[in-house]
Amino acid sequence: MPSLRAPQESFEYLRRIMAITYSSIKIDPRWLVGELKGMDERGRQVIKTMNEIHRIEAEIYENRHKTNEEIMHENYLALTDQEDFINPYTNEVEQDTSEFRYRWIGLDGDIIYTNNPDYDPNISTHRTDFRVSTIRPR
């Protein structure tokens, strides 16, 4: 029975009323089962929400890391006056000078640089293996 505080002259009267009230409380088992199921479902929803928050935080961290890495790489290329080119034979990224707009590479690795958009080294060298290296897309 819970504690009761009342004036002394009415204490016994109020104690009996409270005792009857307290003993008449009956918990509906269906309500209790429903409330426990609701608590369980809300707990699962909290866990699901927290997992989603952690997943989003991890994506943000990964994206920020990649962005910072790319910024640092761009700074490096600018400071060293270089550019990232894609080798047309290997599809690998190669760093080379950014002084020329066009970079042609031969099958044997020979490289020809030019700023002339109409120049084709295959014509002037009497070869057919030169391909233009494109700048890595960003």
Residue 92 shares a structural domain with residue 46: no
Q: What is the pTM of this model?
A: 0.58
| Number of domains into which the chain is organized | 2
Domain that holds residue 69: 1-80
Is the separation of the CB atoms in 95 and 83 below 8 Å? yes
Residue 105: how many other CB atoms lie within 10 Å: 23
Burial of 28 (0-12, 13-18, 19+ CB in 10 A): exposed
Residue 66 shares a structural domain with residue 1: yes
pLDDT tens, 50-60?
Answer: 999 999 999 99
Residue 53 shares a structural domain with residue 110: no
In whole angstroms, give the CA distance from residue 65 to residue 103: 31
pLDDT tens, 86-100?
Answer: 999 999 999 999 999
pLDDT tens, 5-50?
Answer: 888 898 889 888 888 888 888 889 999 999 999 999 999 999 999 9
Residue 10 shares a structural domain with residue 61: yes
Q: What is the largest CA-CA distance in the chain?
A: 121
pLDDT for the residue numbered 21: 86
Residue 62 shares a structural domain with residue 111: no
